[in-house]
Amino acid sequence: MCELLGMSANVPTDIVFSFTGLMQRGGRTGPHRDGWGIGFYEGRGLRLFQDPRASSESEVAQLVQRYPIKSEVVIGHIRQANVGRVCLANTHPFVREMWGRNWCFAHNGQLADFAPQLDNYRPIGDTDSEAAFCDLLNRLRQALPEPVAVEQLLPTLVSACAGYRQHGVFNCLLSDGDWLFSFCSSKLAHITRRAPFGPAHLKDSDMQVDFQAETTPNDVVSVLATEPLTDNESWTLYQPGEWRLWRGGECVAQGITD
């Protein structure tokens, strides 16, 4: 299994604190030694850092922890391989261009008996996760030949995710840089931080941050993770089958599938 990290904010925000917590689980406080990756949107551009090595030992991960990249949407992942060998091509998040935007995807879980038809988007590596991502984009493209608002994508998106869930565990994060879509089949948590901001303390590292000193009163920042990253705040757990759409730090749509 793997762990997911997502962020949606209404101002460019650095995710160094949460990323530091997640990285500890990559070989130190957790067993996810088989690579890690994180994508930061900068406008329509996407800055992607990945390494098939354990995050707790990766020089690139150290750079990301030192380097306060500010972004409004972030998707991160640490991997404990089950399907697909340990290599760069199998390292999340996965990226494809659709409709002139970077689509970024990360998956936690495992799908059995899953062999979608090859179409426009094809997997480069051999994970079930990338196969699901390609299938998802192929379905969206078949359903909607030209770009539409995300609200019009939601029925196809949610129904595809509900379908993948029939094959096993399917927790995922997906974004086109504007919005962040999240689907929970078994485990996902979120927290929204807004004024008055307080201190937060990482579960996985003796690190504390006072968000009051780092933010303005109008900032809204939501963080999503497989398991809560801090031990002194109140995270909300998703229900199995629950999806949420985030934009500018706020949950703008949500629902539960059977």
Per CB under 8 A, residues contacting a copy of itself are 42-48, 50, 52, 59-60, 63, 67, 87-91, 95-97, 99-102, 118, 120-125
Residue of 2, 104, 134, 184 marked active site: 2
Nearest to 97 by CA among 58, 50, 46, 62: 46
Contact 124, 221 (CB under 8 A): no
Torsion angle, CA of 227/229/232/233, rounded to 10 degrees? -70
CB of 244 to a copy of itself, least distance (A): 26
CB of 64 to a copy of itself, least distance (A): 10
CA 173 from centroid of its chain's CA atoms: 4
DSSP-assigned states of every residue in 92-137: SPEEEEETTEEEEEEEEEEESS--PPP-SS--SS--HHHHHHHHHH
CB of 132 to a copy of itself, least distance (A): 15
Q: Is 184 noted as a catalytic residue in this protein?
A: no
Nearer to a copy of itself, 89 or 253 (CB): 89
Nearer to a copy of itself, 18 or 90 (CB): 90
CB of 179 to a copy of itself, least distance (A): 16
Nearer to a copy of itself, 42 or 227 (CB): 42
Q: Please tell me whether the peptide bond between 199 and the residue prior to it is cis, using omega within 30 degrees of 0.
A: no
Contact 9, 226 (CB under 8 A): no
Nearer to a copy of itself, 48 or 252 (CB): 48
Q: Which residues are catalytic?
A: 2
